[in-house]
A and B are shown apart, each in its own frame.
Chain A
Amino acid sequence: MRALSSWRAREARSGLLLVAPGLLLLSLFLALPVIASLLLSLTDFDLYAVGDPGNARIVGLRNYARLLHDPVFWKALGNTFFFVVVGGPLTVSLSLGSALLLNHKLVRFPGLFRTIYFAPVVTTLVAVAAVWKYLYHPRFGLLNAALGFFGVGAIDWLGDPHWAMPAIVLMAAWKNFGASMIIFVAGLKAIPDSLYEAARLDGAGPWQRFRLITVPLLAPTFLFVGLTTTIGYFQLFAEPYVMSGGDGGPMNATLSVALFMYKQGFRWWSIGASASIAFVLFAVILGATLLQRRLQKGGEA
């Protein structure tokens, strides 16, 4: 009995020892900073306070109140929602479409096509954003050349405020659809063939089999992909940063909330204001997550 309890004690000790480095790093670089960020958002912490924190004063919710009256913030929020609402569904449809194609039983070399479609996911965003910048060039870009072939006039993709955000959506969809595609393929593979076989014997056509078997059984995968895409897309940053040379132009047309936060914090050192933007973004993402969870529950009921 004594041996057993000393075993238990040893197990507890080594358990704590093994989680310690990970938890210590997470407290230091995640938990504490998040709390600090919340506190900073209630101060006017700025460049002077970076030198001497004594210069910061508590201002309550003034940073948040100011945000509500800042047209640039609303612009950034609108741009971010546009990216999520247009780019999210576009990306997920491409993922689902390509997964269904890859999973088609007549396909030869599905592994080859899967690798090709997945390639953009592992590419470096900064590098491919530079590539797309040239593809979007109004005069020398391949995209306008291709569109010109079909009689479409030249579009100043990144220079025209109306086209800049759609251009970023298009690039992001190209870059990201392969990641969710892989998850859809795994979801499709998990549906047993026998179900389709049984439906066929009962006289169900291809469309009916898709609607009655694939759609309901893929629903959990679909919601997972939807959720991760939404969360990821709300954090839009590097695409507009590289495409616009860091400022979210033209005329703030590609300024996202995360980029606005970055500019406030790391360019103008308005750290208090920047922290309040971070928390608004957090609240928006949390809200979207809860909403989607709710829809999921509603769908199951």
Chain B
Amino acid sequence: MTRKTLATIGVHAALVAGSVVTLAPLLWMVSASFMTAGEANTSPPPLLPGQATLDQYRELFVRLDMGRSFLNSALLATCAALLSVVVNAAAGYAFAKLRFPARGPLFSGLLAAMVIPGQVAMLPVFLLLRSMGLVNSYAGVILPGVASIFGIFLVRQYAASVPDELLDAARIDGAGELRIFWSIVLPLCRPILVTLGVLTFLGTWNDFMWPLIVLTDDTKWTLTVALASLSGEHVQDTELMMAGAVVTVLPALLLFLALQRSYIDGITAGGLKE
């Protein structure tokens, strides 16, 4: 009994210690964002603001127009998520359930292409967007990432469990294939589509390299690009930077907390298929 109690205490002590270390950077970020300018740069570094203030946030939204970048990020992430769900669900369902010419070779091709790192395609994609006149446009940020091999796989795995009898019954009733996809398959695949949507939303929200390359006009910048630029100009302004970091991180964390189940299911779905 005592051994069990000791073990319980030991395990929880380790878990709590780990939690403190894991959360420390995030908690300090929040705390520093409420400090007055210059307060964080004292020695020893304060853990909590002497007098909490919203000055940094006011500066961000009123003077630096961070609200605009926030809306850009939200808009881009929402559009990317919706488009990605529709496009990848269609392909994933077709690969799982419909017989069409070259299905096998096409799918093997996708499998093989998974080892290609994204960086290889980056320069030509940029030149392509340039020739299409999409540099410095929202479409230029979103379009290259809409179709995803991982997304197609995710939906294909899930759609395989849709019963064929159901699809055949709809066909006998005279429903067209597109209608079957839209009104039977999509609702049945809802859980995995939510997963895919959340993953894409957060991926776009957090993405840095591509919007940095594509968007030149600062009114179109996403939060990540705006924050990186801020850290160039305001590197000394620790408290302001931390407020910017909170504004960027918080929506992602909240969305994750709200849809935690779907998000984690998506990650483990990828992991258990080996």
A binding-site residues for B, Cβ under 8 Å: 7-8, 10-19, 21-26, 28-34, 36-37, 40, 50, 98, 101-102, 104, 106-108, 113, 115-120, 122-128, 130-135, 137, 139-142, 145, 174, 179, 182-183, 186-187, 190, 220-221, 223-225, 228, 231, 234-235, 237-238, 241-242, 245, 258, 261-262, 265-266, 271, 274-275, 278-279, 281-282, 285-286, 289
Shortest beta-carbon distance from B198 to chain A in Å: 10
Residues 208-231 of chain B, each 1 if its beta carbon lies under 8 Å from chain A, else 0: 110001000000000110011001
How far does the alpha carbon of A237 sit from the alpha carbon of B228 in the complex, in Å? 14
Q: Is B34 an interface residue (CB 8 A)?
A: no
B119, A107: Cβ atoms under 8 Å? Answer: no
The answer, among A26, A145, A289, for a CB contact under 8 Å with B44, is: A145
Q: Is B272 an interface residue (CB 8 A)?
A: yes
Q: Is B58 an interface residue (CB 8 A)?
A: no
How far does the alpha carbon of A17 sit from the alpha carbon of B252 in the complex, in Å? 35
Known: A101-B18, A116-B23. A32 touches B124 (CB 8 A): yes
A258, B119: Cβ atoms under 8 Å? Answer: yes
Q: Is B95 an interface residue (CB 8 A)?
A: yes
A134, B32: Cβ atoms under 8 Å? Answer: yes
> What secondary structure prevails in chain A residues at the interface with B?
helix
Q: Is B108 an interface residue (CB 8 A)?
A: no
User: A122-B206, A127-B224, A274-B123 known; 13 other A-B pairs, CB under 8 Å?
Assistant: A10-B177, A19-B106, A26-B149, A29-B125, A106-B8, A124-B208, A127-B244, A132-B25, A140-B41, A174-B21, A183-B271, A225-B271, A238-B209
A-B contacts, CB under 8 A, total: 293
How far does the alpha carbon of A274 sit from the alpha carbon of B123 in the complex, in Å? 8
> Which residues on the A side are within 8 Å of B24 (C-beta)?
142
Q: Is B56 an interface residue (CB 8 A)?
A: no
A186, B101: Cβ atoms under 8 Å? Answer: no
> Which residues on the B side are within 8 Å of A132 (C-beta)?
25
A183, B267: Cβ atoms under 8 Å? Answer: yes
- B227 to chain A: closest residue by CB: A126
Known: A8-B99, A22-B91, A122-B253. A117 touches B22 (CB 8 A): yes
Known: A123-B253, A131-B28, A278-B123. A11 touches B90 (CB 8 A): no
Q: Report the 6 A-B pairs with minimum CB-CB distance, sorted nearest first.
A: A15-B100, A14-B177, A15-B98, A22-B91, A183-B271, A33-B124
How far does the alpha carbon of A39 sit from the alpha carbon of B115 in the complex, in Å? 19
How far does the alpha carbon of A279 sit from the alpha carbon of B88 in the complex, in Å? 28
A101, B271: Cβ atoms under 8 Å? Answer: no
> Which residues on the B side are within 8 Å of A29 (C-beta)?
121, 125, 128, 143-145, 147
> Which residues on the B side are within 8 Å of A118 (C-beta)?
256, 264
How far does the alpha carbon of A275 sit from the alpha carbon of B7 in the complex, in Å? 55
How far does the alpha carbon of A266 sit from the alpha carbon of B135 in the complex, in Å? 13
